[in-house]
Amino acid sequence: MSPFRFSRRIARLTEEALDLLFPPRCAGCGRPGGAWCPACAAAARPLMPPVCSLCGIPWPRGGRCPLCEAHPLQLDGVRSCYAYGGPIRRALHRLKFHGRYRLAQTMAAWMAEGWNRFALEADLLVPVPISRTRQRQRGYNQAAMLARALAENVAIPFYPQALHRVWSTPSQVGLDRNARRENVRGAFVADPRWVRGKRVVVVDDVCTSGATLEACAAALYQAGAVSVWGFTLARVILNHEGGSRWS
């Protein structure tokens, strides 16, 4: 067993033991009683069709939104299940920084609903990779946790080995759209043995500008993938001035 799998199993066993000793708390508000309380479920904002055909933000007119008309994303499309904000933002923070493995299972069920809502199709799922340094520090990759659990829900093969991050990049926080693209340009490489001739969906927790998904897609296209979509639990919805509509 690899060190990563061993550490993941230990973390899961630890969380299960804690669930026996202490009641589970809502990922959105911290109330005891369950992983997701009715109030947080009601406050979450699902993204529903019609959406921009490329970036997936709500767009009632059909086709591409103005931003994608002017600066189209360099992949087949992106779809997200919820707007990033409120209880979804708090839940993802707990997943990303506190390793809530059981929460990943809950979120994957939400993502499976979104997968069916947008009628996505794929030959394999791959997570956005994190650097080895961050993997060692954190002990897990939240995108891989979500992708693995989603694969079980939608019966699509999960291939984390198909895509690798070749160097660690600075945080994207605070960067504009162009800076985000430059920050991750060339940061990933894909293995043709797994992706050549395949329809690939790249899974991540949050999409902000789409720059990371674009960089992953560039590597996958170069390795022979015939289509690449991004799929995330949440999406930052930007207004015309570039600020978040809901955070």
Full-model pTM: 0.86
Provide the pLDDT confidence category of residue 176 given band limits of 50, 70 and 90.
low
Residue 203 has a pLDDT of 98
Give 63's contacts (C-beta < 8 A, 6+ positions apart).
52, 53
Exposure class string for 35-67: b at 16+ Cβ within 10 A, else e: bbbeebeeebbebeeebbebbbbbbeeeebbeb
Q: Which of 26, 42, 46 is nearest to 34 (CA)?
A: 26
Residue 139 has a pLDDT of 82
CA separation, residue 219 to residues 52, 54, 83, 125, 146 (Å): 24, 19, 27, 15, 21
Yes or no: say if 106 and 82 are a contact pair by the CB < 8 Å rule: no
Provide the pLDDT confidence category of residue 243 given band limits of 50, 70 and 90.
very low
Residue 35 has a pLDDT of 83
Q: With respect to CATH, is domain 46-235 assigned 3.90.1580.10? A: no
Residue 59 has a pLDDT of 95
Residue 15 has a pLDDT of 55
Q: Tell me the one-letter amino acid at 34.
A: G
Candidate from 14-18, 132-136, 177-181 with smallest mean pLDDT: 14-18
User: Has residue 184 got a pLDDT over 60?
Assistant: yes
